[in-house]
Structure 1
Amino acid sequence: MTTPRAPGDAEPPPNAANLPSVRAKQILGTGLAVLVGVGMAVQSRINGQLAAELADPVLAAVISFGGGLVVLLGALAAAPRMRRGVGRVTSALRTGGLRPWHLLGGLAGATLVLGQSVTVVVIGVALFTVGVVAGQTVSGLFVDKAGLGPGGAQAPSRPRVVGAVLTVLAIAGTVTGGLGDAEAGSAWLLVLPLVAGGGMALQQAFNGHVGAVAGSPLTAALVNFTAGTAVLVPAWLGTLALGGGPVTWPANPVLYLGGLVGVVFIATAALLVPRIGVLLLGLASVAGQLVGSVLLDLFVPAADVGVGASTVLGCAVALLAVAVASVGGRGRTGAVLRESRT
């Protein structure tokens, strides 16, 4: 017979029988995060090619983000859950459950898409990804430690720190071998993806907050794409005033699907952040980005750069880093904070 729990008694610890299912969900979430990274590499390839054929990288970014926004607005008209999510977000802003800056994750996304359009056709998808993951990996540690994600502060466990260090080493090796294949003056182009990658951890954390409040990852994606489009459109209009504009409109319909790919991975990332944390999401998506980018540069290259042994080795080390980090689980700090608020 079970003894009733008196008022004020501590909650019993989780049933050990449930631990395997928790681990299985974390493994599934990590696998989905890897696919998110592959989607990011595919989007980089699409947007880079679109920018090259338009001869207008800012317009390519507008088409990518704007296309995603159009898809989400269509979904909003047909999805009551999404509309309820918008109402919850509005209410949370009034009551303080969400801060205004939680709606600005799309600014990092806009920087990423613009970086894809500007740099991929010059340095290739793999080297572009190197810059992104360098910023993303380091930033993810600090974002989790500071508690900027919806799960609260998560003290990085030792395996996760080791995983982050391994990822940085993989990136360093990839850069060392890969920059020799790029054009001589193109190394500075890594700065833009580096900044975008640093912002991605914040983007994932902020979108996770919006998704948790809205109860709909698609609502978080809508907020993300609205913010990004609101920045990119004025930027493109400014380039028009300076004499820019497209040279021609590509006939390949695939080149206009970057926004749709972005919707899928932004919504999936918003769904995963509360479950696996910003750092593990970042590390897993790093693995997906590296593997996807190498495959794309091998079979459908965007630039006249080779994929050397150092790049392949970097991918292998990054995959090992994800495996090491996923063993570490989530830090305890977030749980302590949540208990302290009750």
Structure 2
Amino acid sequence: MNKSKYSVPLLMLATILAGTLSPMQSAVNGELGHWLNDGNACAVISFASGLVVMFFIIMAKKETRQQFASIPSLIKNRKIPLRNWFAGMCGAMVVFSEGASASALGVATFQTALISALILSGLLCDRFGIGVDEKKYFTSYRVIGAIFAVVATIFVVSPQWHSTSFILLAILPFMAGLLAGWQPAGNAKVAEATGSMLVSITWNFIVGFTILGIALLIRISLGHVSVQLPDTWWMYLGGPLGLMSIGLMAILVRGLGLLMLGVASTAGQLLGSVLIDVLIPSLGNTVYFVTLVGTVFALLGAIVTTIPDFKTARLAESEAQS
């Protein structure tokens, strides 16, 4: 009885804390991108560090090695639609935008723009059946949630309306969020085909690293950029932080379900973003009052958007019990 009473609040708290890993990753990649002065190079390093970790995890077990080795035949036989194998491109865009804009925008503004776009993307993907098995039509709750997301983005960029460069930078995480809204569905299909989420995550990193790496090599060969690796150890933690976030969410979802996990992780992301900007002044990011208002609107958007699904889930649960 006590377990039932306290387990959900504790899991919610754990998810909020796990959600703070995402803004931590944005802060690390933002500083790395600022140091390198190149978002492309930053993204390659971030993906490479995560890929190294996943390589050792995959190679540790015979089963995952075999599952990973099956990927070429699965692609050839069109086990799943080809587009799902390129879901890592969406993650590549997110990491690239972190390196290119998180330092200049501030973590709170970056994460709010990203999350707001994720809400909009999820709404559109559900409506048109993109990456989901069943379409979910527009409802008043979903539309209101999307409006909150748009308002949140407007709030966080409003202090810098006069700066064209700031607005252009803010478009990067917003566009990345629109693309990344489909990414979990693509990764889930890869996991289903290979039989392993670990293999799916590894493949996701390989795709992102390959695409970004090719782009970087072309730019280096043309003399457009030169890369000097930083000697600050924590600048290499972007990839591992992302992996930790993915792993913890995969564990916590079993106790909370997708709806509560989504809201709690969003709360953690937004709270962590503001705390990083406030508590680490050396990053040079200003948290305006409208930034705080924007984060609240983004959180409200995430909560309101889940209301119809939450009601459906509760109804299904009550029917099952009866």
Q: Is the 8 A contact 2:19 2:266 kept in 1?
A: yes
Task: Give the Cα–Cα distance (whole angstroms) in 2 for the partners of residues 34 and 91 of structure 1.
Answer: 39
- Give the structure 2 partner of residue 293 of structure 1: 273
- Give the structure 1 partner of residue 286 of structure 2: 306
Map 1:213-228 to 2 at 5 A: 213-228=193-208
TM-score relative to the length of structure 1 = 0.75
Which blocks of at least 5 consecutive residues in structure 2 are unaligned? 313-322
Amino acid at match of 2:84: H
Q: Is the 8 A contact 1:284 1:322 kept in 2?
A: no
- Give the structure 2 partner of residue 130 of structure 1: 112
Task: Give the Cα–Cα distance (whole angstroms) in 1 for the partners of residues 143 and 124 of structure 2.
Answer: 11
Q: Secondary structure at the match of 1:154?
A: coil
Q: Is the radius of gyration larger for structure 1 or structure 2?
A: 1
Q: Is the 8 A contact 1:280 1:322 kept in 2?
A: no
Q: Secondary structure at the match of 2:87?
A: helix
Task: Give the Cα–Cα distance (whole angstroms) in 2 for the partners of residues 125 and 149 of structure 1.
Answer: 29
- Give the structure 1 partner of residue 223 of structure 2: 242
Task: Give the Cα–Cα distance (whole angstroms) in 2 for the partners of residues 34 and 148 of structure 1.
Answer: 28
Cα shift at 1:42: 1.1
Q: CA RMSD in A?
A: 3.4
Q: Secondary structure at the match of 1:328?
A: helix
Amino acid at match of 2:160: L
Task: Give the Cα–Cα distance (whole angstroms) in 1 for the partners of residues 127 and 247 of structure 2.
Answer: 23
Q: 1:230 aligns with which of 210, 215, 218?
A: 210
- What is the CA deviation profile of residues 145-193 of structure 1, one whole-angstrom value per residue up to 9, with x for unaligned ones? 23333554334554344333323323322222x426x966322111221
Q: How many residues are paired up? A: 305
Cα shift at 1:35: 5.4
TM-score relative to the length of structure 2 = 0.80
- Give the structure 2 partner of residue 44 of structure 1: 26
Amino acid at match of 2:42: A
Distance 1:96 1:212, change over 3 A: same
Q: Is the 8 A contact 1:174 1:314 kept in 2?
A: yes
Task: Give the Cα–Cα distance (whole angstroms) in 1 for the partners of residues 246 and 61 of structure 2.
Answer: 18
1:324 counterpart = 2:298 = no
Task: Give the Cα–Cα distance (whole angstroms) in 1 for the partners of residues 250 and 72 of structure 2.
Answer: 18
Amino acid at match of 1:238: I
Q: Is the 8 A contact 1:211 1:271 kept in 2?
A: no
Q: Is the 8 A contact 1:134 1:197 kept in 2?
A: yes
Cα shift at 1:329: 2.0
Amino acid at match of 1:179: Q
Distance 1:301 1:230, change over 3 A: farther
Distance 1:97 1:146, change over 3 A: farther
Which blocks of at least 5 consecutive residues in structure 1 are unaligned? 1-20, 333-342
Q: Secondary structure at the match of 1:193?
A: helix
Task: Give the Cα–Cα distance (whole angstroms) in 1 for the partners of residues 20 and 209 of structure 2.
Answer: 23
Distance 1:35 1:111, change over 3 A: farther
Cα shift at 1:282: 6.3
Residue identity over aligned pairs, in percent, reads 31
Cα shift at 1:83: 2.8
